[in-house]
Amino acid sequence: MNKIYITLFLTILLGIAPLMAQNKPMSLEECVNLALEKNISIKQSELDLLNAGIDQKNAFGNFLPSVNLSASHFWNNGLNQNITTGLFENLTTQFSSFGGNLGVDLFNGLQNINQYRRAQLNVLAQQYRLADIADDVSLFVASAYLQVVLNKEILVVQEKQIQTTELELERTKELVAAGVLTPRDLFELEANLATQQQSLVQAQNNYRLSKINLAQFLLITDYDNFEIQLEDFAVPFPEILQKDPKEIFEKAVTFRNDVKLAETNIQIAEKDLEIAKGAMYPRLSGFYSYSTRITYDDRLVGAGTFSTAPIGYVEDSGQLVLREFEDTTIAPPLSFADQFSLYDGHNFGLQLNIPVFNGKSLSNAVKRSRVNLERTQNTFSQQQLDLETAVNQAFNDSKGAYTFYEAALKTETATQRAADDAFVRFEAGAMNSFDYVQAKQRYEAAVSDAIRAKYDYVFKLKVIEFYFGLPLEIN
């Protein structure tokens, strides 16, 4: 009986464990790591990196000799001489041949060396491209993450404002019952509450849509159980904004993966030019080949006995001239091992190929490589200009966002005082409900504006810190 209870307990525990794991809020670091693990563009770039590694192995293989083996078996059906009768008959004969050859490049304009170095650079370029995509993904996740936090904070503010308005409405009803306020004063508060409820629905939709957007980027389909950590965090002081944009740009050039990728592409284009030039040089290669054959037909061999036969006569005496011949007999074919060594042959030497005229294809390839090199250099220069522009833009945006955030805080403080004063005057009957609701709505708008300014500043600050090489994190 105890075993049944234990089994039931473990089954329930294992069943609810995935649900508990799904409800665990995710931090920004966890979201970034999950995106880097699941993002399709990153997976594609990883495959490109694997292909580059294979290309590097191929380039290394060019230094090794090429070795090939061959084997063939032939049947010959036709008019052939019968070794027994000596007559020509329609016979079927067969034999096998085996061979192998070895070739090695001794000099080919240093193409093998340059191709291997190019393959190494291509591996490095793919690593930089992968890291650059990861940087873009990290920034996108941070932006989407902060958007969720922003919408959640606005939603919380909306809920608190509705709670406050409901309490104020109940308080106003008491003041109307006491004769301090008139029933007309309830209309504006009720209308304001309806407006806030409408804004709450909009805030709920914005929060859910922002969560769905982040979840889709993370390839998470269970939107209802997807949550992120929403703990409040202090607005960081913009120490990096005390630096000069030029300093930030110069720092970014030294470690930005897109810049390193552009620099590596220039080196690849230079190797392509050297490879194209190498094709115009003479090519010297060495070769060696071995071949042998095996026959399956019977053969004539000496029988060990001898016979004489006339081969002519002496002109003066007319005497016959006899010659002794060894008798022959039919024997089976030799063994494989004997025929391999008996019929084998070796062929080796050097081969020199000198390109003389080939329709200008080689010279045009060199020109094309030069054009590609210049284009790559221009791309790198343009990328540096774009990076400097982006750094300056991000720097100015961060400073502007911080200034706007400070102004928004001042506006929030000022409108809060005005709203508090208006509430006191409204309860005392010295202000009508319309003016009070207007003051209250200005404060509520200022609160929302301050929240938006806060997260806009935080994200723009993280962008400029990212350019400066600081880790992407939110405290």
pLDDT at site 234 = 67
pLDDT at site 474 = 63
Q: If you average pLDDT over residues 426-436, what whole number do you get?
A: 80
50 within some domain = no
Position 85 pLDDT exceeds 70 = no
Neighbour tally for 87: CB within 10 Å = 7
Position 3 pLDDT exceeds 80 = no
452 and 321 belong to one structural domain: no
Position 12 pLDDT exceeds 50 = no
327 and 368 belong to one structural domain: no
Cβ within 8 Å of residue 59, ≥6 positions away = 112, 115, 116, 118, 119
pLDDT at site 368 = 94
157 within some domain = yes
Position 299 pLDDT exceeds 60 = yes
Determine the Cα–Cα distance for residues 73 and 452; give it in Å rounded to an integer. 83
Percentage of residues in the chain with pLDDT exceeding 90? 35
Q: For the segment 105-133, what is each residue's pLDDT rounded down to a tens digit?
A: 998 888 999 999 999 999 999 999 999 99
Q: Are 275 and 114 in contact (CB under 8 A)?
A: yes
pLDDT at site 232 = 63
Average pLDDT score over the chain? 85
Q: For the segment 176-226, what is each residue's pLDDT rounded down to a tens digit?
A: 887 777 788 788 888 888 988 998 999 999 999 999 999 999 988 888 888
396 and 312 belong to one structural domain: no
What pTM did the predictor assign?
0.77
171 and 241 belong to one structural domain: yes
Q: Are 381 and 375 in contact (CB under 8 A)?
A: no
Query: Which range among 147-151, 164-168, 428-432 has the greatest average pLDDT?
Result: 147-151
253 and 367 belong to one structural domain: yes
132 and 203 belong to one structural domain: yes
**CATH code, domain carrying 375:** 1.20.1600.10
7 within some domain = no
Q: If you average pLDDT over residues 235-260, what whole number do you get?
A: 85
Q: For the segment 409-426, what is each residue's pLDDT rounded down to a tens digit?
A: 999 999 999 988 888 888
402 within some domain = yes
310 and 433 belong to one structural domain: no
171 within some domain = yes
Residue matched to tokens 């063994």:
335
Q: Are 133 and 42 in contact (CB under 8 A)?
A: yes
371 and 305 belong to one structural domain: no
pLDDT at site 423 = 84
pLDDT at site 55 = 93
Q: For the segment 242-252, what is each residue's pLDDT rounded down to a tens digit?
A: 888 898 888 88
pLDDT at site 310 = 80
Determine the Cα–Cα distance for residues 457 and 367; give it in Å rounded to an integer. 50
364 and 325 belong to one structural domain: no
Cα 54–Cα 56–Cα 62 angle in degrees, nearest 5: 110
308 and 400 belong to one structural domain: no
Q: Are 461 and 402 in contact (CB under 8 A)?
A: yes
Determine the Cα–Cα distance for residues 197 and 162; give it in Å rounded to an integer. 7
Using pLDDT thresholds of 50, 70 and 90, give the confidence band for residue 103: very high
Number of domains in the chain: 2
| Strand bridging mode 345-353 / 299-313 | unpaired
Determine the Cα–Cα distance for residues 138 and 253; give it in Å rounded to an integer. 19
344 within some domain = no
What are the Cα distances from residue 424, in Å, to 66, 168, 169, 449? 95, 11, 14, 25
267 and 303 belong to one structural domain: no
Neighbour tally for 301: CB within 10 Å = 13
46 within some domain = no
Q: Which domain holds residue 304?
A: 298-332
**Which one is predicted more confidently, 338 or 286?**
286
Determine the Cα–Cα distance for residues 131 and 149; give it in Å rounded to an integer. 27
192 and 158 belong to one structural domain: yes
Position 81 pLDDT exceeds 80 = no
Determine the Cα–Cα distance for residues 134 and 138; give it in Å rounded to an integer. 6
Cα 141–Cα 146–Cα 151 angle in degrees, nearest 5: 130
Position 475 pLDDT exceeds 70 = no
457 within some domain = yes
pLDDT at site 264 = 95
Q: Per the structure block, which two tokens stand in for 413?
A: 């403080």
SS3 content of the chain, % helix, strand, coil (to 5): 65, 20, 20
